[in-house]
């Protein structure tokens, strides 16, 4: 999860930085990603959350951290791997996770539990038997500030 948090820090999204890290059954990191605009689109698209038209917000353009972790993977097959994500995945990322054969999702924050995208993702995971669990730092003296990517108050937001 520390690697996912570090990856999130690369994100230019001014509101929510997300990181993802795929780890094999042998505990090797095989993919890392963060939420970003597609290559060569960085300047062309807005980071706004709201606008008169959804087409003028970031949402139709942003490439999610999980997708980028898959795009960046260093192995052909990620079946049996687990994925660490700093934010509970949306339904679109849940579909990629399921189709790829990832068997466990470990998330840091469930910031948007009432969004349809999150609820649909949970249904997808439940129906496919993918184990989801909230990450718990091993001890309170852990040197990584796991919640720093979201600001001080986000831990309570789920």
Ligand X SMILES: O=c1[nH]c(=O)n([C@H]2C[C@H](O)[C@@H](COP(=O)(O)O)O2)cc1CO
Annotation: binding site? 64, 90, 93
Are residues 145 and 13 in contact, defined by beta-carbon separation less than 8 angstroms? no
Partner residues linked to 20 by β-bridges = 33, 85
| Residue from 4, 35, 37, 107 binding ligand X (CB under 6 A) | 35
Site string for ligand X, 45-64 (x = CB under 6 A): ----x--------x---x-x
Which of these segments, 9-17, 37-45, 98-106, 128-136, binds ligand X (CB under 6 A)? 9-17
From CA 112, how far away is CA 110, in angstroms rounded?
6
Q: Which helix (H) or strand (E) holds 117?
A: helix 116-128
Are residues 144 and 5 in contact, defined by beta-carbon separation less than 8 angstroms? yes
- State yes or no: residue 66 binds ligand X (CB under 6 A): yes
Catalytic residue among 66, 104, 126, 155: 66
Partner residues linked to 132 by β-bridges = 105
**For binding to ligand X (CB under 6 A), which residues are involved?**
13, 15-16, 18, 35, 49, 58, 62, 64-66, 87, 89-90, 93, 117
| Catalytic residue ranges | 66
């Amino acid at each position: 999860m520390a690697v996912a948090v570090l990856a999130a820090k690369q994100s230019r999204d001014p509101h929510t930085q997300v990181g993802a890290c795929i780890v094999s059954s042998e505990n090797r990191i095989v993919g890392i990603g963060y939420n970003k605009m597609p290559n060569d689109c960085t300047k062309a698209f807005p980071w706004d959350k709201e606008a008169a038209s959804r087409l003028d917000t970031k949402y139709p353009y942003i490439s999610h951290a999980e997708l980028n972790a898959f795009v960046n993977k260093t192995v052909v097959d990620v079946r049996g791997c687990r994925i660490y994500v700093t934010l509970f995945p949306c339904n679109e990322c849940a579909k990629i996770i399921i189709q790829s054969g990832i068997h466990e999702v470990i998330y840091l924050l469930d910031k948007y539990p009432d969004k349809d995208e999150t609820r649909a993702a949970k249904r997808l995971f439940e129906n496919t038997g993918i184990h989801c669990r909230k990450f718990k730092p091993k001890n309170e003296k852990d040197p990584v500030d796991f919640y720093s990517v979201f600001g001080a108050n986000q831990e309570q937001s789920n």
